[in-house]
């Protein structure tokens, strides 16, 4: 189970507080074999100031004096904050040594995450392909309605495609579709304007609540601030296979859609 947008947003807020305006003195690499090998620009960082830390989709971006580090947590990427140098454990990958003696450590037991280097943000293979942020004004009912008119794909696949909207993820796509009464298998082109209004509102509301509650508690994943995600108790359909609908008490349906789990209620959603 991979960290989704709310989890990443919370990690970004924590790292931003620690890193902005600090200087990375150097890095110590313990294992550079992530999804892609950690590039030499990151290995050779020396006395460089961090200007900003922000999120785009599920990517974490560190804006440094000399360029950009783009980080993706993959399935199991975890940050921790150390106050002293500590021996590396089996799954640890790298340390950022800061000028205030703090150390940010990245660990990743399945190694699907990555750390890459870019000189310019706008020439970036990953960020160029992303649709609008779901919590931004650019993601609105007109945008969703216009873009779905010609799409013969299910609305759930549409929401999960980051070129249409960045980083909603499986948990929050399932929950938003339940809240707006739309069945995940409906064709995108058949969603009417009012349903687009409801869906956009549901997505924004659910993601905002999830961010407030530190995301959903996920196996192999801990917040850098040590807080556990508490959104799981608000889940209405996700992960509730063979359970009853919280609205109408009928059995929820579980199907696989594009290799991902979909949960819905055939009475509350159409």
- Site residues (CB under 5 A) for Zn ion? 245, 247-248, 265, 267-268
Is 39 noted as a catalytic residue in this protein? no
**How far does Cα 107 stand from its chain's mean position?**
17
CA pair distance 234, 267, nearest whole angstrom: 20
User: Which entry of 4, 9, 175, 195 is annotated as an active-site residue?
Assistant: 4
User: Which entry of 55, 56, 58, 156 is annotated as an active-site residue?
Assistant: 58
Least Cβ distance, residue 201 to Zn ion (angstroms):
19
Least Cβ distance, residue 239 to Zn ion (angstroms):
16
CA pair distance 252, 245, nearest whole angstrom: 6
- Residue whose CB is less far from Zn ion, 67 or 239: 239
User: Which entry of 16, 35, 111, 260 is annotated as an active-site residue?
Assistant: 260
Is 3 noted as a catalytic residue in this protein? yes
- Residue whose CB is less far from Zn ion, 61 or 235: 235
Least Cβ distance, residue 48 to Zn ion (angstroms):
54
8 A C-beta contact, residue 163 and residue 252: no
Tokens of 41: 């620009």
Tokens of 130: 């992303």
Q: DSSP for 199-249?
A: HHHHHHHHHHHHHHTTS---TT---TTSPPP-GGGG-SSTT-TT-B-TTT-
Burial of 46 (0-12, 13-18, 19+ CB in 10 A): exposed
- Residue whose CB is less far from Zn ion, 93 or 268: 268
Contacts of 234 (CB under 8 A, 6+ apart): 209, 210, 213
User: Which entry of 3, 6, 134, 184 is annotated as an active-site residue?
Assistant: 3
Tokens of 134: 């779901």
- Residue whose CB is less far from Zn ion, 76 or 269: 269
Is 4 noted as a catalytic residue in this protein? yes
Least Cβ distance, residue 181 to Zn ion (angstroms):
9
Least Cβ distance, residue 268 to Zn ion (angstroms):
3
- The candidate with the shortest Cα–Cα distance to 53, out of 37, 33, 70, is 70
Is 240 noted as a catalytic residue in this protein? no
Burial of 83 (0-12, 13-18, 19+ CB in 10 A): exposed
- Residue whose CB is less far from Zn ion, 160 or 268: 268
Residues classed as catalytic: 3-4, 58, 260
């Amino acid at each position: 189970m991979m960290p989704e947008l709310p989890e990443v947003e919370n990690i970004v807020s924590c790292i931003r507080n620690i890193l902005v305006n600090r200087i990375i003195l150097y890095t110590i690499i313990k294992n550079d074999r992530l999804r892609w090998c950690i590039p030499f620009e990151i290995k050779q960082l020396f006395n460089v100031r961090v200007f900003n830390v922000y999120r785009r989709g599920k990517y974490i971006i560190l804006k440094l004096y000399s360029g950009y580090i783009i980080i993706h947590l993959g399935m199991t990427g975890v940050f921790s904050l150390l106050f002293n140098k500590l021996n590396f454990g089996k799954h640890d990958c790298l340390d950022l040594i800061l000028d205030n003696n703090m150390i940010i450590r990245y660990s990743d037991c399945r190694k699907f995450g990555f750390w890459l280097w870019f000189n310019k943000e706008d020439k970036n293979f990953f960020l160029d392909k992303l649709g609008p942020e779901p919590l931004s004004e650019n993601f609105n009912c007109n945008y969703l309605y216009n873009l779905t008119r010609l799409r013969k794909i299910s609305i759930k696949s549409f929401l999960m495609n980051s070129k249409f909207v960045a980083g909603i993820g499986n948990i929050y796509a399932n929950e938003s579709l339940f809240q707006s009464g739309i069945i995940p298998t409906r064709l995108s082109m058949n969603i009417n304007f009012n349903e687009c209004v409801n869906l956009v509102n549901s997505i924004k509301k659910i993601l905002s609540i999830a961010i407030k509650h530190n995301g959903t508690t996920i196996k192999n994943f801990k917040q850098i601030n040590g807080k556990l995600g508490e959104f799981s108790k608000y889940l209405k359909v996700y992960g509730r296979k063979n359970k009853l609908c919280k609205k109408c008490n009928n059995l929820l349906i579980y199907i696989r859609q594009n290799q991902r789990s979909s949960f819905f209620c055939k009475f509350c959603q159409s």
